[in-house]
Structure 1
Amino acid sequence: MKYSTFGSLLMTVIFSCFLLSCKQDSNKENAENTILWEPYNDSLEVAANANHDNPRMRYKLIQSKVLDKNDVFRPLYQEAKAFSNERYLALEPYILEQDIPSIQSSIKQGKFTYEELVLFYLHRIYKYELDNGTTLNTIIALNASALEQARQLKSNADGEHPIYGMPILLKDNIGFKGLPTTAGAIALKDNTTADAFIVERLKEKGALILGKVNLSEWAYFFCDGCPVGYSAVGGQTLNPYGRRLFETGGSSSGSGTAIAAGYAVAAVGTETSGSILSPSSQNSVVGLKPTIGVLSRTGIVPISSTLDTPGPMTRNVTDNAILLAAMLGFDEADQHAIKDLFSAAQLLETPMSSIAQIRVGAITTLMQQDSIYKTRVEVLKSAGATIVPITPPEVKLDGFLSILNIDMKHDLPQYLETYAQQKDLVSVTSVADVVTYNIQHSTLRMPYGQARLEGILTDSTTIEELQTIKLNLEKEGRRFFDEALDNQDLDAILSINNYHAGYAAVAKYPAITIPMGYKTTGEPIGLTLIGKPLTEVSLLSIAKNFEQVMQARKIPELYSN
């Protein structure tokens, strides 16, 4: 009798376990087959932009023809779904639009955990990116391990770098182990790599890589006169301040739009000439293009080893300095790496300059042409800054395109040979291969052509001629700024958006843009500060001061809750 009872109980337990296992398998299968998003007909949206005042915004498509958002969002869906809207709303005052020190303070006080911080951002991403009426087409990959990694973190960041536990998004030309690094191109859709050098530095300090964001394909060195923020992988990135109304800026379009919409604490972009400054300005966020050599380029899909650099993109200057500090490190593999520069401690601990000590140049033609710039300069002057009217010399950037052409012709094959880990999945080995590949698959890959890639193949500039061009352009770029910086003893020169990004690029000078205001249409505009090499600490200090005086940034209305 006892044996019979035990046997019956055992069979019941076994059967229950079997049912539970079947239920779990069924739940897993259901989760894997859950339809979160369906492709839609974007022809009406495309038609609505056919006569846009800006030719680059006359789109031929909006949604990607190849990316299935279900594949992107399924892995974390069940956990994100379990995070209630009530909890989200309770956390909103402590996270949305708050800076990193404030977020870390709230976590230390037990208001929420690092896991809930990730869930908060996932909630926003799922809410807006799965709705075809609000999607920015900006998130193109999520790190399926992000929540598990968040759970393993300590309860607070005492003794850790401020970036500890902060969810960060990466532009999808930056290597991250576990997700493809595509540069927006289908030819690299299966490009698996190790972590880029700067990603290693972030992970060492406990940062959480939340995922990858869209970009202008091949960092906008692909088509000519085409929309910024378009890639074959991700589709057309849209501006949260006016979807299909305003440009996103490029090529770090996804980094700018995602941070503006509040999808993560911060993002990393890259710039060759304007690719951080432009999308930061267009999306009312803070973007820093460092001095060439401050941050490593190792593991990043290149355009130009001469001019490329990654940089931080954030909602405020404080976070920008923190993210920059977290990515610092001397990389012997980077030929332009600078060994002796400012330290992370200087970035994190330098007190803000007194505005009365700040001396900057305001470009006279911009004062005449742009009312917002003029008004903001006058506000800064009233607050105590010394404003010196300047007229930079006439400078030509002859040969600039050849730097990009010849560098990419040599740098891309080297990247593919060194970092593309599965050569059988990445068939291209050169720019010529990419051009051919795109022609063979043109329906999906190049609705706007590939004029810039084709231009690389026809550029006959020799290496010797290229060296002369580089030296001349660096000299001319520095002359554009130095006449005022040196003669007037200026800390920086004030520009707008990416207006003078090309000069700063060839000069290899750092630049930071901060929100300056909004046009009558609602389109954001940025105030850009450009300084001498390795003056990042000073530029960030000045930018922080100006940010507090102007207090210009507003969250985009459609993404405000």
Structure 2
Amino acid sequence: MRKILYVLALICLFFSCKKQEKKTTHPQKEPRIVWQAYDETQDLKATEKLEETRMHLKLINSKVSDKNDIWRVLEPELDYFSKDKYDLLKPFIIEKDIPTIQKHIKNGDLTYEELVCFYIYRIRKYESDNSLSLNALISLNPNVVEQARALDKIDKNKIDINSVFGMPILLKDNIGTKNMMTTAGAVVLKDNKAKNAFITDKLIENNALILGKANLSEWAYFLCSGCPVGYSAIGGQTMNPYGRMVYESGGSSSGSGVTVAANFCVAAIGTETSGSILSPSSQNSVVGLKPTIGVLSRTGIVPISSTLDTPGPMTKHVIDNAIVLNAIVGKDTSDPASVAVAIDFVKAVKEHSLKEKRFGVVKELLKDSLYKKAIENIKKAGGTIVEIEPELVDLPGFLNILNIDMKNDLPKYINTHASDNITIENIKGITIFNQKDSLIQIPYGQQMFTGILEDTTTDKELASIKENLKMVARSYFDTSIDAHKLDAILSINNYDAGYAAVAKYPALTVPMGYSAKGEPKGLTFIAKPFSEALLLQLAYGYEQATNERKAPVNYIN
């Protein structure tokens, strides 16, 4: 009898310990937060008073998606993640670069699981609040917390702090990711269960955590003409955290820029055809790299132009940009433009210096006070300034490249990377689909798609246009670079993005400061092909000398 009582006592003790362990680990279940749709009339009316006509909005939130679906599948992971826990972790994460976050994880200040849960909590916190929401995301990875737990089991001493290991990264939603939809923001691709893009596989191989998909300008801003940047039918209107419904978010990698700026992720990947990384990076005070065509694979990315498209990293810090770039380079035999890159970009960054570097400064841009201040800071850091006056020339046929490439490249993407349930085959099919419910699917029209269908440029004419534009654009830069032996030309935001695009020159923008009203601007470095390491060095040197980036004030809590 005594033996039976002893066994019963042990059983009771076991269950009481388990209960106590749960009580200690999960002190109280947190209430779930629900986003509620609201009457947008007054907010939309206010945008009509803005000088920037592209900010005259017709809608804010998507009419085809429920924002609660973004985090619904991950709600159980947040049930015991409290505000106190969030506040405790905040000093280790907000505005911190990757090496610092990795050090905190090695020191035991937080785990990869906590890092992921922190971002999910933060995304829900702001995106569920109609006075602060940025419409910056389309989806979250349903498996990301489980994946983070698996990484927490690995010996932290073996992890390189200059790596993407365990870092939650968002992808622009035109980049294929097999356990999430890849929509390009368009209703016609709402259920596109695409394969992984090449760069997605590279991130996974390097143990990065794909946190989710960022909103974008629908079809990478090649759908409507003169419409707001950052709008997509699936994600709604992306907004700038530095001036919500006041300043443009930049496009087309709008959500990628906004999520990085608002500390919704460690880093993001955007894509650019002409200005689509540089623009949102500048507008949201983050670092954005548009690499030389071929440095990064385009396989598995919804295309505009196989001639000009490229993905690129978008980060808060230059060192993070180099770390992410290291993780996603690689020769891709499926991409004819892809090249092998054997450079350690992190090592290159650490060899930074502005001393004796020669910079071409556009004389006309010196009228901009922030640009002028940036140039003075480079001088103080030992850089040599050469004033230049490049001749602005037209780029005839630029639109033809985009039209004909997309007409050819999009069907190829659908055939090889989209899921079998996507039955639309080409641009014409998409335009017909959009007309069935145009007020919801294309509230700003589809003028660019109509232009694609009307373009009759022949293959021979197109080849001539491409070669001519490359020659014209390279002359625009090289006349000054060669004559003055310049390391880079300095521009503002995406002012020279079109020339860099057709020249196939890399460009990198870094926070330069803020206008009197608080709108961010970026200093953009442009150099000859395959100069990514040099651009990162120069940008890092400038960043260290100035530290211009400031977190958006309404998004620091």
Q: TM-score range by the shorter chain?
A: over 0.9
- Distance in 2, matches of 1:404 and 1:519, equals 33
- What aligned pairs does 1:487-506 form with structure 2 within 5 A after superposition? 487-506=483-502
- Distance in 2, matches of 1:472 and 1:358, equals 31
Counterpart in the other structure of 1:484: 480
Other structure's SS at 1:270 match:
strand
Q: Which residue type is aligned with residue 236 of structure 1?
A: Q
TM-score (normalizing by structure 1): 0.92
Counterpart in the other structure of 2:531: 535
Counterpart in the other structure of 2:272: 271
Q: Which residue type is aligned with residue 496 of structure 1?
A: I
How many Å apart are 1:560 and its aligned residue?
Answer: 0.8
- Distance in 2, matches of 1:36 and 1:393, equals 54
Counterpart in the other structure of 2:158: 158
- Distance in 2, matches of 1:458 and 1:441, equals 22
- What aligned pairs does 1:389-404 form with structure 2 within 5 A after superposition? 389-404=387-402
- Distance in 2, matches of 1:352 and 1:130, equals 43
Q: Which residue type is aligned with residue 365 of structure 1?
A: E
- Distance in 2, matches of 1:140 and 1:238, equals 13
Q: Once the two structures are superposed, what CA deviation does each residue of 1:349-383 show, in whole Å capped at 9, x if it has no partner? A: 55333221221110000013x11111211121122
Counterpart in the other structure of 1:429: 425
Q: Once the two structures are superposed, what CA deviation does each residue of 1:81-114 show, in whole Å capped at 9, x if it has no partner? A: 4112222222211111111011111111111110
Q: Once the two structures are superposed, what CA deviation does each residue of 1:234-264 show, in whole Å capped at 9, x if it has no partner? A: 0100000010010000000000000000000
Q: Which residue type is aligned with residue 158 of structure 1?
A: K
Q: Is the 8 A contact 1:495 1:528 kept in 2?
A: yes
- Distance in 1, matches of 2:50 and 2:173, equals 28
Q: Which moved more, 1:276-285 or 1:101-110?
A: 101-110
Contiguous gaps of at least 5 residues in structure 1: 17-29
Q: Is the 8 A contact 1:352 1:542 kept in 2?
A: no
- The runs of at least 4 consecutive aligned structure 1 residues that moved more than 4 Å come to none
Give aligned-pair identity as a percent: 55
1:445 pairs with 2:416? no
Q: Is the 8 A contact 2:322 2:349 kept in 1?
A: no
Q: Do the aligned partners of residues 44 and 555 (structure 1) sit closer, same or farther apart at CA in structure 2, a change above 3 Å counting? A: same
- Distance in 1, matches of 2:32 and 2:458, equals 55
Q: Once the two structures are superposed, what CA deviation does each residue of 1:390-446 show, in whole Å capped at 9, x if it has no partner? A: 111232200000000000000000000111122x3x231101111111111212111
Q: Do the aligned partners of residues 97 and 87 (structure 1) sit closer, same or farther apart at CA in structure 2, a change above 3 Å counting? A: same
Other structure's SS at 1:549 match:
helix
Q: Is the 8 A contact 2:319 2:346 kept in 1?
A: no
Counterpart in the other structure of 1:113: 111
How many Å apart are 1:346 and its aligned residue?
Answer: 4.2
- Distance in 2, matches of 1:268 and 1:490, equals 29
1:316 pairs with 2:312? no
Q: Which residue type is aligned with residue 293 of structure 2?
A: I
- Distance in 2, matches of 1:348 and 1:484, equals 29
Q: Is the 8 A contact 1:352 1:545 kept in 2?
A: no
- Distance in 1, matches of 2:377 and 2:205, equals 42
How many Å apart are 1:69 and its aligned residue?
Answer: 1.3
How many Å apart are 1:35 and its aligned residue?
Answer: 7.1
Q: Is the 8 A contact 1:216 1:231 kept in 2?
A: yes
- Distance in 2, matches of 1:209 and 1:351, equals 27
Counterpart in the other structure of 2:453: 457
Counterpart in the other structure of 2:355: 356
How many Å apart are 1:526 and its aligned residue?
Answer: 0.4
Contiguous gaps of at least 5 residues in structure 2: 16-28
Q: Once the two structures are superposed, what CA deviation does each residue of 1:501-541 show, in whole Å capped at 9, x if it has no partner? A: 00000000000000000001100000000001001001000
Give the aligned CA root-mean-square deviation in angstroms: 2.0
Counterpart in the other structure of 1:95: 93
1:83 pairs with 2:81? yes
- Distance in 2, matches of 1:245 and 1:45, equals 11
- Distance in 1, matches of 2:345 and 2:434, equals 46
1:475 pairs with 2:474? no
Q: Do the aligned partners of residues 520 and 541 (structure 1) sit closer, same or farther apart at CA in structure 2, a change above 3 Å counting? A: same
- Distance in 2, matches of 1:188 and 1:69, equals 17
Counterpart in the other structure of 1:27: none
Q: Which residue type is aligned with residue 250 of structure 1?
A: G
Q: Is the 8 A contact 2:325 2:345 kept in 1?
A: no
- Distance in 2, matches of 1:353 and 1:129, equals 38
Counterpart in the other structure of 1:387: 385
Counterpart in the other structure of 1:25: none
Number of matched pairs? 533
Q: Is the 8 A contact 2:348 2:533 kept in 1?
A: no
- Distance in 2, matches of 1:322 and 1:463, equals 39
Other structure's SS at 2:355 match:
helix
Q: Which residue type is aligned with residue 531 of structure 1?
A: A
1:104 pairs with 2:92? no
Q: Which residue type is aligned with residue 490 of structure 1?
A: L
How many Å apart are 1:157 and its aligned residue?
Answer: 6.1
- What aligned pairs does 1:63-82 form with structure 2 within 5 A after superposition? 63-82=61-80
- What aligned pairs does 1:149-548 form with structure 2 within 5 A after superposition? 149-153=147-151, 154-156=154-156, 158-160=158-160, 162-339=163-340, 341-343=341-343, 345-368=344-367, 370-422=368-420, 424=421, 426-548=422-544
- Distance in 1, matches of 2:265 and 2:435, equals 36
Q: Is the 8 A contact 1:342 1:534 kept in 2?
A: no
